[in-house]
């Protein structure tokens, strides 16, 4: 994905690819379990973005993008983003020294999984005014309200909840996923994973992340990194479905010609390629911006907007070019479409990020 990579990063990228190629089966033949999570820990992937001072490898958004690109290519299902990017990022950005040391080490070792409850029903992608309330009752803090579209909550041990405290300060509160007052309603997601609603009914707070100060700008920073992760995953998925389409057109014949001989089909493939090359470059630029912490919000938002549209376009073309075969569950093209749709719908779709781009001031008034 990147024009220039250090030797170290090239090795990282190649090792991720070769492990997934050997060990991660295609969707049709897939079984899931905690075994993979432990493997991810042993491979160091769970520690990738955690600072070296907290048992991590100290990787940046660029390293995460290399991992994500491979996750997209091999359609990795594990809720890595929730634990290792979002929650690890929030703990690093907002947690006390003790919280960071303990919890990040647990994440790196694969001992605990986390989820982040950000959105709420009926408010689309806006999270600035949480209706979930943290209040004091009998000497303890409890949470009430509902979080929606929570990835990874079904298997999480801990959930970080964005809520307003009695003073109206937006804070991050940790609950025990299996504790009293916490109900997790889980359904399948469009891309064959799981998505949950977290219903809090006087759920006791285990801890507050960091001091009682407003956390929105820290959340925005962590989201920027998560957006890069999602975008890089999309680039991997787009490239893979593009490669399969090119192969298919060179194999299949109709009217006694290879499909790749039909100009109209060739041009469709060209349009896919154009989108992918533009996305790859923009996402790489966003990863570097987030790594350098320079114009990172706008960089992440523009990449997510572009990738959301391009991903759908590329995957839809792949299905059309496969004809009826593209509609079957047996082939991967449909799975790439669904993953790309889910990526678009996660943490703000293209529509949302185009509007956010305007709000971030990149369009002249």
Does 354 participate in binding other proteins (rule CB under 8 A)? yes
Beta bridge partner(s), residue 254: 257
d(CA 330, CA 341): 18
Q: Which stretch binds other proteins (CB under 8 A): 60-68, 238-246, 287-295, 337-345?
A: 337-345
Pair 264, 254: CB distance under 8 Å: no
Smaller CB separation from other proteins, 268 or 273: 268
Smaller CB separation from other proteins, 94 or 318: 318
Smaller CB separation from other proteins, 29 or 35: 29
60, 146, 218, 260: which one binds other proteins (CB under 8 A): 146
- Helices 296-322, 350-359: axis angle to 10 degrees equals 160
Does 280 participate in binding other proteins (rule CB under 8 A)? no
d(CA 300, CA 285): 9
d(CA 142, CA 158): 15
Smaller CB separation from other proteins, 135 or 316: 316
SS3 201: strand
92, 345, 353, 356: which one binds other proteins (CB under 8 A): 345
Q: Measured between alpha carbons, how far is residue 91 from residues 53, 85, 122, 171 in Å? A: 13, 10, 27, 12
d(CA 333, CA 325): 9
Does 255 participate in binding other proteins (rule CB under 8 A)? yes
81, 222, 228, 350: which one binds other proteins (CB under 8 A): 350
25, 34, 58, 121: which one binds other proteins (CB under 8 A): 121
Smaller CB separation from other proteins, 89 or 130: 130
Residues 6+ apart with CB under 8 A from 138: none
Which of 152, 72, 17 shows the shortest CA–CA distance to 332?
72
Least gap, CB of 190 to other proteins (angstroms):
5
Which of 114, 54, 111 shows the shortest CA–CA distance to 83?
114
Does 226 participate in binding other proteins (rule CB under 8 A)? no
Report angle CA 275, 347, 5 to the nearest 5 degrees. 50
Does 201 participate in binding other proteins (rule CB under 8 A)? no
The 256-275 site mask, x for binding other proteins (CB under 8 A), equals ------x-xx----------
Q: Which stretch binds other proteins (CB under 8 A): 29-37, 84-92, 98-106, 349-357?
A: 349-357
Does 351 participate in binding other proteins (rule CB under 8 A)? yes
Does 299 participate in binding other proteins (rule CB under 8 A)? no
102, 320, 357, 360: which one binds other proteins (CB under 8 A): 320
Q: Quick one: which H or E segment has residue 116?
A: strand 114-117
Rounded (10°) CA dihedral 325, 331, 333, 337: 110
Least gap, CB of 320 to other proteins (angstroms):
6
Pair 259, 331: CB distance under 8 Å: no
Least gap, CB of 99 to other proteins (angstroms):
28
Q: Which residues bind other proteins (CB under 8 A)?
A: 119, 121-126, 146-149, 185, 187-190, 195, 197, 199, 254-255, 262, 264-265, 312, 316, 319-320, 323-324, 326-330, 334-335, 337-338, 341-342, 345-346, 349-352, 354-355
């Amino acid at each position: 994905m990147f024009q220039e990579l250090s030797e170290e990063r090239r090795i990282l990228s190649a090792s991720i690819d070769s492990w997934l190629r050997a060990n991660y089966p295609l969707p049709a033949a897939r079984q899931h379990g905690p075994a993979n999570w432990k493997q991810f820990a042993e491979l160091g992937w769970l520690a990738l973005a955690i600072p070296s001072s907290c048992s991590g490898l100290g990787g940046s958004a660029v390293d995460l993008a290399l991992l994500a690109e491979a996750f997209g290519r091999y359609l990795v299902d594990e809720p890595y983003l929730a634990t290792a990017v979002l929650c690890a990022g929030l703990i690093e950005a907002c947690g006390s020294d003790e919280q960071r040391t303990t919890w990040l080490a647990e994440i790196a070792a694969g001992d605990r999984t986390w989820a982040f409850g950000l959105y709420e029903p009926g408010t689309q992608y806006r999270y600035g005014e949480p209706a979930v309330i943290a209040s004091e009752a009998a000497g303890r803090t409890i949470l009430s309200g509902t979080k929606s579209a929570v990835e990874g909550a079904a298997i999480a041990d801990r959930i970080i909840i964005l809520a307003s405290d009695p003073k109206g300060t937006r804070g991050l509160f940790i609950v025990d996923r299996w504790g009293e007052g916490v109900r997790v309603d889980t359904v399948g997601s469009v891309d064959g994973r799981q998505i949950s609603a977290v219903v809090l009914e006087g759920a006791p707070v285990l801890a507050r992340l960091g001091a009682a100060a407003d956390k929105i700008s820290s959340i925005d920073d962590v989201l920027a990194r998560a957006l890069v992760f999602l975008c890089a995953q999309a680039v991997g998925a787009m490239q893979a479905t593009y490669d399969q389409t090119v192969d298919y057109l060179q194999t299949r014949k109709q009217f006694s010609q290879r499909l790749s001989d039909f100009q109209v089909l060739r041009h469709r493939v060209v349009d896919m390629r154009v989108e992918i090359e533009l996305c790859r470059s923009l996402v790489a630029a966003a990863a570097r911006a987030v790594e350098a912490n320079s114009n990172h919000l706008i960089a992440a938002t523009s990449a997510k907007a572009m990738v959301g549209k391009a991903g759908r376009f590329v995957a839809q073309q792949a299905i059309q070019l496969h004809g009826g075969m593209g509609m079957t569950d047996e082939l991967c093209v449909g799975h790439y479409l669904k993953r790309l749709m889910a990526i678009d719908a996660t943490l703000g779709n293209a529509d949302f990020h185009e509007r956010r781009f305007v709000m971030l001031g990149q369009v002249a008034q």
